[in-house]
Amino acid sequence: MAETHKSKALAVDLGGSHATCAVVAGASVIASETLHINGAMKLFDVLPRIANELRRLTHLTEVGFSECVGIAFGFPGIVNTQNGRVLSTNQKFVDATELDLPGWARESFNLKLRIENDARLALLGEQFAGAAKNFTDIVMITLGTGIGGAAMIEGRLVRGKHFQAGCLGGHLPVQLNGRKCNCGNIGCVEAEASTWALPQICREQKGFNESSLAQVSIIDFATLSEHAAEGDAVANAVWQHCLNVWAAGAVAMIHAYDPEVLVIGGGVMKNAARVLPFIQTHIKAHAWTMWGDVAVRAAHLGNHAALIGALPLLRENVAGEKV
Amino acid sequence: MAETHKSKALAVDLGGSHATCAVVAGASVIASETLHINGAMKLFDVLPRIANELRRLTHLTEVGFSECVGIAFGFPGIVNTQNGRVLSTNQKFVDATELDLPGWARESFNLKLRIENDARLALLGEQFAGAAKNFTDIVMITLGTGIGGAAMIEGRLVRGKHFQAGCLGGHLPVQLNGRKCNCGNIGCVEAEASTWALPQICREQKGFNESSLAQVSIIDFATLSEHAAEGDAVANAVWQHCLNVWAAGAVAMIHAYDPEVLVIGGGVMKNAARVLPFIQTHIKAHAWTMWGDVAVRAAHLGNHAALIGALPLLRENVAGEKV
């Protein structure tokens, strides 16, 4: 059986505080387990736990390694998909750039390994079996701790010369003289409206000391939304600011990549009823799409999107692959 | 001789107020003539003048039509390069969407015709023989009456599903609650810092009535720069605003397309000594390019860039071409 026709795969979705391990069959996650880990740890020290978990899950589901196309890794940073190396880690798993993950997968499981940026892998998943099914030109944005982005044009992931294209959607500047971002830029979508930036944004809002938010120990979007709904003026102003930022970022992504569909995911979308209609209306009014309207949809697959992206990633004909 | 190995071509660069006709050989424009026309005219009525001019230039240079790969048209709007149709004209040559330009070229010259957005064609020219030579991952920005953009990834022009990708670089939003753009969006680079927007931007600047600019009948960037150099506070403030806008737009293009080189052209670059170093410094400080520094260069080919893009456009293997 040709490798690319196998319909099972192993998948690992690595985040700042978790590694979700899974066995996937087609578009289904048939078994998964989330390991809680500390992103400050060395990835080298986490790999044995991941290997054990993958062995346990395959045993449980009676899937043989040889039935799998390979292992797909989703990584929260910039990666070289051609040679399986991590290029930049953004302060998580700082040893990852030194690791030979394809070598580890060969030795541990006799399987090929592909690695992809987590947002790109989630886009692949949403295209394979979620909100972007049957589309070839797709932009995905994830609104959460950071702001993720990914783009596909004519059925091919936009990766770019240094594997940065598309996935810096959260770092498009939308505000002149705006807030300084962790990335070094000014007024990025992420600096203006992400969970990490939110407490500072609130504290800088005029009237904060009189706001009900001043009593909250950790301000996140769930809290913000509650206080806004209760009529707190500061919470409402910040919430509106964030909606404006996300909407401007969405238009920027549409103007940059010319998609048919925009998929919005991430933790903020737990409150999709307050987020999605605003962005949809803004795009309809302000995006320059002479051909018609971009479909704007909530992500369908939630935390499973990157896992379900495993099979399409492993089946892709990656130009210039050197593994 | 295979078509793609011929080294001569006819080229037409169509603008709002001109149609430059040329015969090119390799990377040289061996003869050209600029017809002054009114963009409010029907393109149908201009085509006979273009045909006559191309006949005159080929006669003059003793180039036979059969020696040419074809005719390349640069158009200031959105075009479908696969079938040679104009999709959107942005108020210039409004009948262009109805014309069968490939048919016209076949009947008039027995040559194939390809059409491309003018900024994309200029990028091809700069890559073939200008500031982007030997690069495969390129972003081009033109600063002038409008703000043009184009992008190339891995040696292929970024066109997108509806042929809008890359060429809306001037319509990336960089200012929340910014100025309304002609395109319908808010705070676009073009609305915040282009020649068409400049008079309004100046008039809205605090202190305008006391500024030396208040005496000027038509404010363009040359005037603005002069008055700024003479110490006019309003001119300096607007000039600085425009520099900030262009720099933010440049970072947005870099984050979106991950290029090795950024080429900046357009009329504003007559004042390159005041523009280029600012943008270079801003990018070095603020663009997130973990792999190294993006080269930032002035366009080399000036008004000839799109003409020199004719041969590479005609030689390209355009996926899905239906002419």
Q: Render the burial of A29-61: b for 16+ CB within 10 Å, e for the rest.
A: bebbeebebebeeebeebbeebbebbeebbeee
Those of residues 79-108 in B touching chain A at CB distance below 8 A are 87-88
- Minimal C-alpha gap between B250 and chain A (Å): 10
- Given an 8 Å threshold on Cβ–Cβ distance, is A290 in contact with B244? no
3-state secondary structure of A100: coil
Residues of chain B with CATH 3.30.420.40: 3-125+304-315, 135-299
B173 closest CB neighbour out of A153, A159, A252? A252
Substitution target in B258, B262, B279 with the highest count of A β-carbons within 10 Å is: B258
CA B194 to chain centre: 13
Q: Residue A261's closest chain B neighbor by CA?
A: B161
Q: Render the burial of A205-214: b for 16+ CB within 10 Å, e for the rest.
A: beeeeebebe
In A, which residues are within 8 Å of B174 by CB distance? 173-176, 187
Strands B18-25 and B8-14: antiparallel
pLDDT reported for residue A160:
97
- CATH for B135-299 is 3.30.420.40
Among A40-49, A166-175, B283-292, which stretch is predicted with the lowest mean pLDDT? A40-49
- What is the C-alpha to C-alpha distance for residues B110 and B104, in angstroms, rounded to an integer? 9
- What is the C-alpha to C-alpha distance for residues A316 and A3, in angstroms, rounded to an integer? 11
Those of residues 180-199 in A touching chain B at CB distance below 8 A are 183-187, 192
Substitution target in A161, A180, A181, A246 with the highest count of B β-carbons within 10 Å is: A161
Q: Residue A248's closest chain B neighbor by CA?
A: B173
Contact status, residue B225 vs residue B219, Cβ threshold 8 Å? no
- Given an 8 Å threshold on Cβ–Cβ distance, is A252 in contact with B251? no
Percent of chain A with pLDDT over 70: 98
pLDDT reported for residue B221:
96
Compute the Cα dihedral for A223, A227, A228, A234 and give only its sign.
Answer: negative
- Minimal C-alpha gap between A39 and chain B (Å): 20
Residues of chain A with CATH 3.30.420.40: 3-125+304-315, 134-299
Dihedral in degrees, nearest 10, Cα atoms A280, A281, A286, A288:
50
pLDDT mean across residues, chain B: 95
Model pTM?
0.96
pLDDT reported for residue A4:
56
pLDDT reported for residue B3:
56
- Given an 8 Å threshold on Cβ–Cβ distance, is B256 in contact with A257? yes
pLDDT reading at B90 higher than 90: no
- Given an 8 Å threshold on Cβ–Cβ distance, is A251 in contact with B185? yes
- What is the C-alpha to C-alpha distance for residues B71 and A109, in angstroms, rounded to an integer? 56
- Residue B190's φ and ψ, nearest 5 degrees, are -65, -35
- Given an 8 Å threshold on Cβ–Cβ distance, is A183 in contact with B288? yes
pLDDT reading at B40 higher than 80: no
Q: Which residue has the higher pLDDT, A114 or B89?
A: A114
A185 closest CB neighbour out of B172, B256, B288? B288
pLDDT reported for residue B161:
97
Fold of A134-299: Nucleotidyltransferase; domain 5 (3.30.420)
In B, which residues are within 8 Å of A136 by CB distance? 161
Q: Is A177 on the interface with B (CB under 8 A)?
A: yes
- Given an 8 Å threshold on Cβ–Cβ distance, is A160 in contact with B255? no
- CATH for B3-125+304-315 is 3.30.420.40
Percent of chain B with pLDDT over 90: 90
pLDDT reported for residue A3:
56
pLDDT reported for residue A94:
87
pLDDT tens per residue, range A189-246: 999 999 999 999 999 999 999 999 999 999 999 999 999 999 999 999 999 999 999 9
B176 closest CB neighbour out of A78, A137, A174? A174
B244 closest CB neighbour out of A176, A241, A248? A176
pLDDT reading at A2 higher than 60: no
pLDDT reported for residue B1:
43
Those of residues 289-308 in B touching chain A at CB distance below 8 A are 289-291
Taking Cα atoms as reference points, which of B150, B252, B247 lies closest to residue A174?
B252
pLDDT reading at B91 higher than 80: no
Count contacts between A and B (CB, < 8 Å). 155
CA B229 to chain centre: 28
pLDDT reading at B99 higher than 60: yes
- The per-residue DSSP string of B103-135 comes to HHHHHHHS--EEEEEHHHHHHHHHHHHSTTTT-
- Given an 8 Å threshold on Cβ–Cβ distance, is A162 in contact with B252? no
Q: Residue B242's closest chain A neighbor by CA?
A: A176
Average pLDDT over residues B134-140: 98
CA A115 to chain centre: 14
pLDDT mean across residues, chain A: 95
pLDDT reading at A1 higher than 50: no
**pLDDT band at A92; cut points 50, 70, 90:** confident
pLDDT reported for residue B73:
97
pLDDT tens per residue, range A232-290: 999 999 999 999 999 999 999 999 999 999 999 999 999 999 999 999 999 999 999 99
- Given an 8 Å threshold on Cβ–Cβ distance, is A165 in contact with B257? yes
Those of residues 231-290 in A touching chain B at CB distance below 8 A are 241, 244-245, 248, 251-252, 255-260, 285-290
